Chain A
Amino acid sequence: MINQNSQTILNVKNLHANTDGTEILKGINLTVKSGEIHAIMGLNGSGKSTFAKVLAGHPDYTVTQGNVQFEQQDLLAMNSEERAQAGIFLAFQYPIEIPGVANNQFLRLAYNTVQSKRGNEELDPLEFDDFVREKMKLLEMNPDFLDRSVNEGFSGGEKKRNEILQMALLEPKLGILDETDSGLDIDALKIVAKGVNHLSNKDNAMIMITHYQRLLDHIVPDYVHVMESGRIIKTGGKELALELEKHGYDWLHSHQQNNAGVSA
């Protein structure tokens, strides 16, 4: 929900990033305030995941220009674990499998690490077990997933749910959901959306990367941004997504002139 008086959580200015000498992000500007939900859409390859990974501190990308403030801190000066501890959470488009690491062990380690860095109480294995089972109920996940290796052999939809479970445990300030809806069946989409809505409140913010309106039917965005070739080329309200669904991205180009460079 938009509230002009809320605090700025994320402020991205003229962000450029390279990988292997190729520029992928070419000047992104974006401001996210607490309580807001932003959607980022755009063609395949336009740089959405790269933007998300740069915010999370992925070592493959080098920032060449611009700056990013995250709650008064210089985000780009922090390494990826510090960002996570400070409250950035990225739900990956393609969550990787980690054979041999039990999901519950991993979840507890992540939870306790983040809790202790934030000056909160850690949980012992038994307490954590109760806690995580509660969170799993919210996402209607079978507790059996706790005993399996992280994401190993999980279906596409199960992996996405496991990502949102991690978000629920780590309670980020800024959740970045990269195509969390893709691979989810209709029921799972509703459950995950319900979970995300449950987690979003006036003190945090969400950035949802998606290709489809159907997610935005359930999680209603305050802003919709369209990325193209490493930039945000258009920003609008939730109705922009509907227009895009109706007319496709080509439609934008006829309107681009008067909208280019606008940011929220």
Chain B
Amino acid sequence: MSELVSNDYLECLLKSLSIQSEGISSLGAPANNQSAWLKQLRKQAIDRAGQLRLPTIKDEAWRFTDISPLAKLPFKPAQALHTLKLSDIQSFFIEETNNRLVFIDGFFAPEFSGITDKEQLIIGNLPSLIESHASLVASHLAQHAQYHDNIFTALNTAFVHDGAVIIVPKNAVAAAPVHLLFIATQKETTNYPRCLIVGEANSQVTLIEDYVSLQNDAYVTNSVTECYLAPNAQVQHIRIQRENTDAYHLANCAVSLDHASRYQAVNVSFGAQISRHNLDVGFKAETGECAIDGLTIITDGQLADTHSCIDHIKPNCTSRQQHKCIADDAAHAVFNGNIIVRPGAQRTDSSQSSRNLLLSGTAQIDTKPQLEIFADDVKCAHGATVGQLDNEEIFYLKSRGLSELAARNLLTYAFGAEILNRIPLASLKHSLEQIVLNQTQSSR
């Protein structure tokens, strides 16, 4: 079916791209070396995108996730035009921080952005950081998220314009978290959010990457996030996908961990009609650590697919992963958790748990731990379960007066709460809990 459709899709996107890229130098960036470098990168990505094709369910990695509906909708890139007022978006702000970069349809909105921790952070929109920190940006942008074999990363790279860049200098500890807020307002368009996070040696930061919608029609988000942690750096990365349930969300996140660095992530997906989140974490040096928690809560006809790959390239690294899916109604959740232990990556300590809750007879959850171990002195624990709410627990709650519905909601909420509790920001945690409660309530 799709070969033809998908090629149409790509052709159409790439055509819109060539029109756009002619205007690259007229977009405001001076025609100096830096933009020449970016131009070169984009050109390579465009060429590569032209050689790739959209995945279909015949591709092993997309077996459960049929994106053919997306292929029929060659949404043109979103435009940098919005008429939003502060009051339209304020409800998305996180009370605990005023470090905020706002992007609307992928375009930087300086009027809504602000940074309080200017001392500790080098932060801003990609074009200006390319000017002020050219070599640093050039040595990381598109270096961690490979576009050569990933059509969506290739397209994002081809369309790269604005983006969130966060550099935490050596020994700096950001006092408040950084909120990266991506707001989609234009229907039937594609937006291309891009983030680059560089934690220099001994630095620490917490950031929230947050995808929201301000309209209810279909559109596409194709986002790419790259994160590099230098020796002993720490990042706490909270990612929230709460786009409208007609949206398509395609996300690639690549993390490179240097010596003794620590990456902690909480990934929460509620939104989108079809979403795909690829998370690749690579231990590029010894004694790194990562802890990755994920929660997917979907209902109706939503499909949410998480593919993670934790690559133990070097010895003595520790990874811990817990992913939970809750699927109600006719929703379909997918989790594929790949863990690679390369030859020589001795004393790897890795654990992965995938726990899943089916709330209806028509929901579907496919979970697949995928371990590839090529070293002998390693500790790898993994487990996957798919179950329903426990009848004894429901009875216990009902015997205390709770209705069947309240009991089921409370237990569903509790199942997800274990992950949400890892979010260190009370107000954010609270608003997500409300979404969970509403979602479980409205679905019955």
Contacts and interface: CB of A to CB of B under 8 A. Distances in A.
Contacts of B407: 81
B403 A81 contact: yes
B403 A113 contact: yes
Interface stretch (B167-175, B244-252, B412-420): B412-420
A56 to B, nearest CB: 5
Given A101-B411, A101-B414, A84 B391 contact: no
Classify the interface of chain B: helix, strand, loop or mixed. Answer: helix
Contact of A80 (B395, B406, B413, B415): B395
A119 interface: no
B398 interface: yes
A109 interface: yes
A106 B401 CA distance: 11
A109 B410 contact: yes
A98 B399 contact: no
A140 to B, nearest CB: 22
B95 interface: no
Given A57-B399, A59-B395, A81 B404 contact: yes
Q: How large is the interface on B (under 10, 10 to 19, 20 to 34, 35 or more residues)?
A: 20 to 34
A114 B400 CA distance: 8
B418 to A, nearest CB: 5
Interface in A79-120: 79-81, 83-85, 89-90, 92, 95-96, 98-101, 105-106, 109-110, 113-114, 117
Nearest to A58: B395
B401 A84 contact: yes
A117 B402 CA distance: 11
B396 interface: yes
B407 to A, nearest CB: 8
Is the interface on chain A under 10, 10 to 19, 20 to 34, or 35 or more residues? 20 to 34
A114 B404 CA distance: 14
A57 B395 CA distance: 9
Interface string B409-440: 01101111110000000000000000000000
B396 A81 contact: no
A6 B397 CA distance: 31
Interface in B359-404: 391-393, 395-404
Contact of B401 (A100, A101, A117): A117
A257 B266 CA distance: 69
A166 B400 CA distance: 8
A79 B401 CA distance: 10
B396 A98 contact: yes
Given A59-B391, A96-B392, A80 B411 contact: no
Given A81-B404, A113-B406, A99 B398 contact: no
Contacts, number: 72
Among B393, B401, B404, B413, the one with the most A-chain Cβ atoms within 10 Å of its Cβ is: B401
A99 B391 CA distance: 14
Contact of B399 (A56, A101, A106): A56
B410 A101 contact: yes
Given A95-B396, A98-B396, A110 B401 contact: yes
A166 B393 CA distance: 16
B255 to A, nearest CB: 28
A240 to B, nearest CB: 29
Contacts of B400: 84, 106, 110, 113-114, 166, 170
B396 A96 contact: yes
Most chain A CB within 10 A, of B406, B414, B417, is at: B414
Contact of A100 (B398, B399, B414): B414
B398 A79 contact: yes
Contact of A81 (B402, B411, B418): B402
Interface string A36-74: 000000000000000000001111000000000000000
A96 B393 contact: yes
A110 B413 CA distance: 16
A110 B414 contact: no
Interface of B: 391-393, 395-404, 406-407, 410-411, 413-418
Given A57-B399, A101-B414, 9 more contacts: A81-B401, A81-B404, A84-B400, A98-B396, A99-B418, A101-B413, A110-B401, A166-B400, A170-B400
5 contacts: A79-B404, A80-B395, A95-B396, A106-B410, A110-B402
Ranked 5 nearest A-B pairs via Cβ:
A100-B414, A110-B400, A84-B401, A114-B401, A101-B414
